[in-house]
Chains A and B, each alone.
Chain A
Amino acid sequence: MLDAATGSPDRTLNTSGNGLAYQAGNASKWSDRPWLDTIEAAPRDQIEARQEAMLLEQMQWIASRSAVVRDLWAAAGVDPLSITSLADFKARAPFMDKDAIRAFRDRTGDPFGGVLCVDRDELHNVGSSSGTTGDPTIFAERWDRGYEGPFTPREYWMLGLRPGDYVLEMSTVMRGIGHRITKAAGAIPLLLNHDPNEVETAVDLILKYRPTLFFHLSSPVIYGLERMEREKGVDMVDLFSSFRACVYGGEPIGPRMQATLDRWGAKVFEFSSLGDSGTIWECEHGDGFHAWEDVGLVEVLKPGTDEPVPDGEGGELVVTALHNKTDPLIRYRSGDFVRHTRVPCACGRTHVRLWPLGRLGDEVVVNGKSVLPRDVWTAVEQVAETSAGLFQIIRPQRELTELKLRVGYDGDPPDHADVARRVADEVEARVGVRPQVELTPNSELIKLGPPHKIPRVAKA
């Protein structure tokens, strides 16, 4: 079970910033089971029964508290209190998206965009997205409540982290210091910046403490590790031998990078966003990303419509926060394209699995041909000087007559024109569009941050 939905009576925080009741609840679940909560492997009818109860409670909660929901639902002529079931919700509930929240914010001056459902003095932390595509999205958090933030205790348990283990946290400060989830699992974080320049210190800490989980790898950090291997002769197989899981996030893994990680023996698990209502994670079977359906109601819809796509097919991810009572997003169109299935995973978990395919805002259409960053990735990786896979698609608007790429290179190639030509050849062969290539040093691209992912699309 999740903790009490409407707030803990005891708001006391432990030394790590987790509510005492939440932490005690976590500790009581530590056992030899592969999952923390029985709902993770529950039959579909039990999941849906839980969802329906939580959804109807959420409708009661938001009806009088969420200003943006009040506006959007009134405009659609739907009263949240009139929703009677999951099916009724899916048939009648209006959608919200980032633009609607921003519009509410700009109209009213409310920095939370009308989604905040508690008094401000109940909050512990206000974090935000990195804001690479506009004004950052704000997230309000109450830290005495578990399962509300980006992570739940389930993910690290699923990846094999156990109390007393060390976690290498090469991380960013987006929503406070993210060690709270490590501490909720009873583990000990090693605190470092998510920065390729921090890799040398990371190597020292890994060899001393032999952590079991690495949070998190990204293309810039792998780039830093490759340099350490090449220039300092670090034994990467030994370095990665203590990790049960290396978490990779921020963007897809290209084939060359995957081959490098395989050569190092790194057991890599990817994670991604659940439409700003949580995160989704791979398990050891690597067959899709697990979403927790008692945390968020997941719909996968044909883009621009309210029609669900069949199991196994792709569409836009739409999420309704079921547990979050602080700043819940309700029927939120994420702009993420995912494939999905509700067929149970070989790991025994029964919740929906998702495969992220890309973002609507990243697509360019060059003379009628759709191109996404993942299409370009493999091509850029094929050229030795640009094999780190750091690049940007220049996207002044969605429809283009010419594909322009800014591509990072390593070292000091004597003939830039030759490197650019070879990158263009690879892209043309794999994508079917010949790009104009501008070369820039990897070190300059990495500065564009955030450090776990360079923006793959730039206006200029």
Chain B
Amino acid sequence: MMSLAPSPAWTAYDPDAPDALWAIGTAPSAGGPVEYALSNRDVEADALWAARQLDALGIGQGSLIDLIHNYREGGQFWPFYLAALRIGAVVLNGMATPWDVGRTEMYARRFDLQVLMGVGAPTVEGLGSFGFDPATVLRRTQVLVAREEAVPTLKDMGLDAHSLAFLGPLVLIASPGEAGAPYDTDQWTVTTDAAGRLRVTAAATRACGFVDLDTGRTGRVFDGRIHLDPAS
């Protein structure tokens, strides 16, 4: 019979304390995926930021939002779940892989989705491979937020999508035709080095401790917005 004696460490542990770790996520960087810690405080701050993005996308009480992401992107996407739930929206979900497009298609067909967020090239190509017309499926949603590499393809299909990009641990969402994407300047400092590479430093309150993280992307920062170079 498995019985572990209580240890002082865990009997005193409060997993909901602001400084307690929520999870270890991974983020893209110049050197490949890099792990980073998120505390509850970090997630709450990111959820506040996400709520503003969702509001701009039209998410409100009773809205349906389908979040398409892989598990390792939980650190970036969970704040959007939390923000949506606290707004009173309902979240649906799928994975950004070709084999999971059946669920994405099903949700778009059976539900009146306000936002479909996270569609990337694997989803667009997968829909075609599995016999669906991507444009028909994706047009059923009122607002599309597509990973940046899929935006031109969708435009060719007549679909104007918001662009979603990852800059290290940051999620950047830009409206169609908009120059640059806003970011949470309270949580992150983004600078450009001499080579034009974007570097991220976390606020002192954050658990991850990123200082000048080389994101591997190039671009410019001004007016509180990040302008990524395409395919950088």
Using CB atoms and an 8 Å cutoff, list the residues of chain A in contact with chain B. Answer: 13-17, 23, 27, 30-34, 111, 120-121, 123-128, 130-131, 135-136, 138, 143, 158-160, 162-166, 169-177, 179, 183, 186-194, 198, 201, 204-205, 208-209, 283-284, 346-348, 447-451
User: Which residues 62-98 of B have a CB within 8 angstroms of A?
Assistant: 62, 64, 69-75, 77-78, 81-82, 85-86, 88, 90-95, 97-98
26 CB contacts below 8 A, A to B, read A14-B16, A15-B43, A32-B5, A111-B111, A125-B92, A160-B2, A160-B4, A162-B7, A162-B10, A169-B71, A176-B81, A177-B74, A179-B23, A179-B78, A183-B22, A186-B13, A189-B23, A192-B72, A193-B70, A193-B71, A198-B72, A201-B26, A201-B33, A346-B1, A447-B99, A451-B99
In the assembly, what is the distance between CA of A30 and CA of B72, in Å? 29
A125-B91, A190-B24, A449-B97 known; 20 other A-B pairs, CB under 8 Å?
A: A17-B78, A17-B85, A32-B3, A34-B3, A121-B61, A126-B64, A136-B103, A164-B10, A175-B93, A176-B81, A177-B71, A177-B78, A179-B78, A188-B23, A189-B24, A191-B26, A192-B71, A204-B35, A209-B24, A448-B99
Whose C-beta in chain A lies nearest to the C-beta of B3?
A: A34
A34 engages B93 (CB within 8 Å): no
Point out the residues of chain B lying under 8 angstroms from A194, CB to CB: 71
Judge if B195 is at the interface, Cβ distance under 8 Å: no
What is the distance, in angstroms, from A159's C-beta to the closest C-beta of chain B? 8
Point out the residues of chain A lying under 8 angstroms from B35, CB to CB: 190, 201, 204-205, 208
B24 engages A449 (CB within 8 Å): no
Point out the residues of chain A lying under 8 angstroms from B62, CB to CB: 120-121
User: Which of B2, B15, B94, B97 has a CB less than 8 Å from the CB of A34?
Assistant: B2
B26 engages A192 (CB within 8 Å): yes
What is the distance, in angstroms, from B48's C-beta to the closest C-beta of chain A? 12
Whose C-beta in chain A lies nearest to the C-beta of B74?
A: A191
Whose C-beta in chain B lies nearest to the C-beta of A165?
A: B10
Point out the residues of chain A lying under 8 angstroms from B5, CB to CB: 32
Point out the residues of chain A lying under 8 angstroms from B43, CB to CB: 15
* Count of A-B contacts judged by CB separation below 8 Å: 172
In the assembly, what is the distance between CA of A170 and CA of B81, in Å? 19
Judge if B203 is at the interface, Cβ distance under 8 Å: no
On whether A172 and B95 interact (CB within 8 A), knowing A15-B16, A31-B6, A190-B23, the answer reads yes
In the assembly, what is the distance between CA of A44 and CA of B7, in Å? 33
Point out the residues of chain B lying under 8 angstroms from A124, CB to CB: 85, 90-91
Judge if B56 is at the interface, Cβ distance under 8 Å: no
In the assembly, what is the distance between CA of A169 and CA of B72, in Å? 9
Point out the residues of chain B lying under 8 angstroms from A143, CB to CB: 85
Chain B binding surface, main DSSP class? mixed
In the assembly, what is the distance between CA of A128 and CA of B9, in Å? 38
Point out the residues of chain B lying under 8 angstroms from A27, CB to CB: 15
Whose C-beta in chain B lies nearest to the C-beta of A105?
A: B110
User: Which of A123, A125, A130 has a CB less than 8 Å from the CB of B93?
Assistant: A125
User: Which of B24, B98, B99 has a CB less than 8 Å from the CB of A191?
Assistant: B24
A130 engages B72 (CB within 8 Å): no
In the assembly, what is the distance between CA of A179 and CA of B75, in Å? 11
B23 engages A30 (CB within 8 Å): no
Q: For the complex, count residues of B whose C-beta is within 8 A of A.
A: 58
Point out the residues of chain B lying under 8 angstroms from A111, CB to CB: 110-111
B69 engages A173 (CB within 8 Å): yes
In the assembly, what is the distance between CA of A165 and CA of B78, in Å? 20
A186 engages B2 (CB within 8 Å): no
Using CB atoms and an 8 Å cutoff, list the residues of chain B in contact with chain A. Answer: 1-7, 9-11, 13, 15-16, 21-26, 33, 35, 40, 43-44, 47, 61-62, 64, 69-75, 77-78, 81-82, 85-86, 88, 90-95, 97-100, 102-103, 106-107, 110-111
Of the listed residues B43, B61, B78, B91, the one surrounded by the most CB atoms of chain A closer than 10 A to its CB is B91
In the assembly, what is the distance between CA of A347 and CA of B94, in Å? 37
User: Which of B16, B71, B99 has a CB less than 8 Å from the CB of A449?
Assistant: B99
In the assembly, what is the distance between CA of A429 and CA of B4, in Å? 47
In the assembly, what is the distance between CA of A242 and CA of B148, in Å? 40
In the assembly, what is the distance between CA of A169 and CA of B73, in Å? 12
Point out the residues of chain A lying under 8 angstroms from B91, CB to CB: 124-126, 176
Point out the residues of chain B lying under 8 angstroms from A284, CB to CB: 1-2
Chain A binding surface, main DSSP class? loop
Point out the residues of chain A lying under 8 angstroms from B78, CB to CB: 17, 177, 179
Point out the residues of chain A lying under 8 angstroms from B23, CB to CB: 179, 188-191
Point out the residues of chain A lying under 8 angstroms from B11, CB to CB: 30, 163
Whose C-beta in chain B lies nearest to the C-beta of A169?
A: B71
Point out the residues of chain B lying under 8 angstroms from A31, CB to CB: 6
Point out the residues of chain A lying under 8 angstroms from B70, CB to CB: 173, 193
On whether A191 and B71 interact (CB within 8 A), knowing A111-B111, A126-B111, A450-B99, the answer reads yes
A176 engages B93 (CB within 8 Å): yes
B90 engages A163 (CB within 8 Å): no
A173 engages B4 (CB within 8 Å): no
In the assembly, what is the distance between CA of A204 and CA of B62, in Å? 41
In the assembly, what is the distance between CA of A126 and CA of B65, in Å? 10
In the assembly, what is the distance between CA of A124 and CA of B88, in Å? 8
In the assembly, what is the distance between CA of A128 and CA of B23, in Å? 24
Point out the residues of chain B lying under 8 angstroms from A32, CB to CB: 3-6
Whose C-beta in chain B lies nearest to the C-beta of A348?
A: B1
User: Which of B25, B47, B73, B90 has a CB less than 8 Å from the CB of A123?
Assistant: B90
In the assembly, what is the distance between CA of A348 and CA of B91, in Å? 39
Whose C-beta in chain A lies nearest to the C-beta of B43?
A: A15
In the assembly, what is the distance between CA of A27 and CA of B12, in Å? 11
Point out the residues of chain B lying under 8 angstroms from A162, CB to CB: 4, 7, 10
What is the distance, in angstroms, from A16's C-beta to the closest C-beta of chain B? 7
In the assembly, what is the distance between CA of A166 and CA of B23, in Å? 9
Point out the residues of chain B lying under 8 angstroms from A16, CB to CB: 15-16, 22
In the assembly, what is the distance between CA of A17 and CA of B15, in Å? 13
In the assembly, what is the distance between CA of A233 and CA of B7, in Å? 35
Point out the residues of chain A lying under 8 angstroms from B94, CB to CB: 173
A130 engages B103 (CB within 8 Å): yes
